[in-house]
A and B are shown apart, each in its own frame.
Chain A
Amino acid sequence: MSRIKAYIPFSKGGFLTAIAYRTHILGFLVGELLFSFIMYYLWKTVFANTGGTLLGFTFSDMVVFIFLSNATRFLIHSEATYTVAEEIVEGSISMRLIKPVRLDLSLMFTDLGGTVLTFVLIFIPMLIGIEIYRYFEFGVWMISPVRILLFLFSASFSFLVNFYFDLCFGFMAFFLKNLWGFSILKQSMVNFLSGSMIPLDFLPKIFADPIKLMPFASISYTPVMIFMGKYSGTALISAVLLQVFWVIMLYVISSLIYTIAKRYLSVQGG
């Protein structure tokens, strides 16, 4: 990591690319916001028929959950699978391999560049929106700097878990050459199992408990629960430790896959 300076240009590149595709981001944002509102009205109907709370969640908890989950998904978004797959299909992976940089770090820093943009453009406005909502709901400001910091701390592990998970899939392109169908499968798995669609606590315990141990919960559920104050004390510490565990695990797994995969590389098209 002493050569971190060598990777800064990749972040800059990721940032500039993200800006270049700002209409793309804007379209995405509007789409996601619409989606969040659909979820909002859906859950509103559900809560109207349950009399206030559902499995420990009040309706205002649910609102925070919906919007924050979506914002988190944006924040930790990784292009690794897509980038590796595309570079293999068109053969430009060669240009990355002839640079004296690590493959994983160069991809990660590219992602981080985009993260800076989504943090400013999407996450901060969403957070302000949530706090304003809570102010009107409870009549007092509920802002807790400690919770926000803990959220960001946990979210950075989420980023790493998601990144290395994505990378494992990306390396599959070395064997499969084309990843399109495979990456759709991955995305639906992540969306469902990470608890960003439905709080994992809403699932039957027999499913919820094993899913919570899987890396997916570490991707977005953990930081959101921390922000909402659902985890505290030892529960919080063990949830974060689980995240750290998955970062290390997925890092090791992705390195192993890469060690095998690189022998299978056949550069397509010249």
Chain B
Amino acid sequence: MITVENAVKDFRKVIKQPGLKGSVQALFKPGYQVVHAVNDISFEVNKGEIMGFIGPNGAGKSTMIKMLTGILYPTSGNISVAGYDPQKQRQQYVQHIGVVFGQRTQLWWDLPLSETFTVLKEIYQVERREFEQRMGYLNDVLDIAPLMTSPVRTLSLGQRMRADLAAAMLHRPKVLFLDEPTIGLDVVVKDNIRKAIANMNKVDDTTIILTTHDLADIELLSHRIMMIDHGKLVYQGTLNDLKDKYGKSKKIEFVISDINQPIQQLLSDRFSQRGIECSVDQEKGTLIYDRSIPSALILKELLELVSIKDISIKESDVESIIKQIYLAGDKYE
């Protein structure tokens, strides 16, 4: 459905020296710096797949989405979506896609919401029967009927996002692009939006590309993720693969009942040679070990060694894995 080959997008950024001198200098002889917003990215997405882009701010996710939607021209490389060249055939191409930019709206600000849908019906040339049927479906998943008579500017952010999503889906797009669809929303609204997205993916077999900073979006929706950092693709695959690859360790946290024992010493003697990290701070202790070692075994040894009040076992979560990768990326700068 989507093929991207060696996409590159360079921007020219004006550099200004600080102060009056710098401003005057920039007026006569502006300095430029080339920024590689997207630097040689290739990937493919299949029909019906939900693909999530993640990456730190300024990594190039939005630039990638803007190239995929035909707004920006790649500096080099090839992009093909649903058989179209998004840039060269923009007008025909966009008939088949839906786009939601979380930080913008395509709704008509001063008019009642219903007006936006009438306008979109004309622009996308949706037949009347199809329009009514479609509005019925969108109302089922996004509950927009109660908003129809309100001017868009009076809607809350959550209501607006529901309406924007419905607006993007009216013409049954083959591919739906969502740039931070849950930004700034509360937990309940986020949950509803995610359910709606999953439903639309299932019902119409819509291919969905989304970018987000909220890892729950990724965990609950995406079949596959791509991690972009400094314009480069640093990881692509499923979330489970990511966990296997980077989340190698598990962690036991415990609370010690008798802190008079030399516990640090005891633990180090027992575990350190086996590559298990131990640390004790007052009554709290932690053990970090490779997930190949059975937790039960370590637990048994630990209980024999020290008397313990409370205990918990944790797998490394996606958030900390991703933080780890982002930080590693920064080091290369």
For residue B271, CB closer than 8 A to chain A, the reply is: no
Stretch at the interface among A8-16, A146-154, A158-166: A8-16
Tell me the nearest residue of chain B to A95, going by C-beta.
B106
For residue A270, CB closer than 8 A to chain B, the reply is: yes
Structural contact, B71 and A98, CB atoms closer than 8 A: yes
For residue A198, CB closer than 8 A to chain B, the reply is: no
Most buried by B among A3, A100, A102, A262: A100
Structural contact, A92 and B104, CB atoms closer than 8 A: yes
Partner of B71, one of A17, A94, A101: A94
Interface hits, B114-129 → A, CB 8 Å: 118-119, 122-125
For residue A24, CB closer than 8 A to chain B, the reply is: no
Chain A residues contacting B122 (CB-CB under 8 Å) are 5-6, 8-9
Q: 1/0 per residue A1-30: CB within 8 Å of B?
A: 001011011001100110010000000000
Structural contact, B70 and A97, CB atoms closer than 8 A: yes
Structural contact, A9 and B119, CB atoms closer than 8 A: yes
For residue A266, CB closer than 8 A to chain B, the reply is: yes
Most buried by A among B95, B103, B105, B122: B122
Interface hits, A48-102 → B, CB 8 Å: 91-95, 97-102
Structural contact, A267 and B66, CB atoms closer than 8 A: yes
CB distance from B130 to the nearest CB of A (A): 16
Chain B residues contacting A101 (CB-CB under 8 Å) are 91, 123
Provide the bound-state CA to CA distance between A13 and B106, in Å. 13
For residue A117, CB closer than 8 A to chain B, the reply is: no
Partner of A266, one of B72, B104, B105: B72
Structural contact, A267 and B71, CB atoms closer than 8 A: yes
CB distance from B213 to the nearest CB of A (A): 13
**Secondary structure call for the A interface:** helix
Provide the bound-state CA to CA distance between A8 and B124, in Å. 12
Structural contact, B72 and A265, CB atoms closer than 8 A: yes
For residue B90, CB closer than 8 A to chain A, the reply is: yes
Partner of B62, one of A3, A6, A12, A270: A270
Structural contact, A9 and B123, CB atoms closer than 8 A: yes
Structural contact, B72 and A267, CB atoms closer than 8 A: yes
CB distance from B22 to the nearest CB of A (A): 18
Structural contact, A100 and B92, CB atoms closer than 8 A: yes
Q: Number of B residues whose C-beta is below 8 Å from A?
A: 30
CB distance from A19 to the nearest CB of B (A): 10
Provide the bound-state CA to CA distance between A12 and B111, in Å. 11
CB distance from B116 to the nearest CB of A (A): 10
Provide the bound-state CA to CA distance between A12 and B118, in Å. 12
For residue A205, CB closer than 8 A to chain B, the reply is: no
Structural contact, B124 and A100, CB atoms closer than 8 A: yes
Chain A residues contacting B123 (CB-CB under 8 Å) are 6, 9, 99-101
Most buried by B among A5, A16, A102, A270: A270
Q: 1/0 per residue B154-189: CB within 8 Å of A?
A: 000000000000000000000000000000000000
For residue B99, CB closer than 8 A to chain A, the reply is: yes
Given the known A-B contacts A6-B125, A91-B104, are A20 and B73 also in contact in the complex, defined by CB atoms under 8 Å? no
Structural contact, A3 and B125, CB atoms closer than 8 A: yes
Partner of B90, one of A13, A16, A97: A97
CB distance from B184 to the nearest CB of A (A): 13
CB distance from A181 to the nearest CB of B (A): 12
For residue B235, CB closer than 8 A to chain A, the reply is: no
Tell me the nearest residue of chain A to B10, going by C-beta.
A266
Chain A residues contacting B90 (CB-CB under 8 Å) are 97
Tell me the nearest residue of chain A to B100, going by C-beta.
A98
Chain B residues contacting A102 (CB-CB under 8 Å) are 91
Provide the bound-state CA to CA distance between A102 and B94, in Å. 11
Interface hits, A211-270 → B, CB 8 Å: 262-263, 265-267, 270
Provide the bound-state CA to CA distance between A267 and B71, in Å. 9
CB distance from B277 to the nearest CB of A (A): 41
Provide the bound-state CA to CA distance between A5 and B121, in Å. 10
Provide the bound-state CA to CA distance between A3 and B108, in Å. 21
Chain A residues contacting B94 (CB-CB under 8 Å) are 97-100
Provide the bound-state CA to CA distance between A17 and B115, in Å. 14
Provide the bound-state CA to CA distance between A12 and B66, in Å. 28
Provide the bound-state CA to CA distance between A266 and B293, in Å. 51
Chain B residues contacting A13 (CB-CB under 8 Å) are 108, 119
Provide the bound-state CA to CA distance between A5 and B127, in Å. 13
CB distance from A158 to the nearest CB of B (A): 28
Most buried by A among B11, B70, B123: B123
Provide the bound-state CA to CA distance between A98 and B67, in Å. 11
CB distance from A114 to the nearest CB of B (A): 15
Structural contact, B97 and A98, CB atoms closer than 8 A: yes
Chain B residues contacting A270 (CB-CB under 8 Å) are 62, 101, 103-104
Tell me the nearest residue of chain B to A106, going by C-beta.
B123
CB distance from B76 to the nearest CB of A (A): 12
Q: What are 6 pairs between A and B in contact, CB < 8 Å?
A: A6-B122, A92-B104, A94-B66, A94-B71, A100-B95, A267-B72
B-side residues, CB < 8 A to A, are: 11, 62, 66, 69-73, 87, 90-92, 94-95, 97, 99, 101, 103-106, 108, 110-111, 118-119, 122-125
A-side residues, CB < 8 A to B, are: 3, 5-6, 8-9, 12-13, 16-17, 20, 91-95, 97-102, 262-263, 265-267, 270
Other 7 A-B pairs with CB < 8 A, given A9-B119, A99-B123, A267-B71: A13-B108, A94-B101, A97-B70, A99-B94, A100-B124, A266-B72, A267-B72
- Give the 10 A-B CB pairs with smallest separation, nearest first: A9-B119, A100-B95, A263-B73, A98-B99, A97-B71, A100-B94, A270-B103, A6-B123, A94-B71, A95-B106
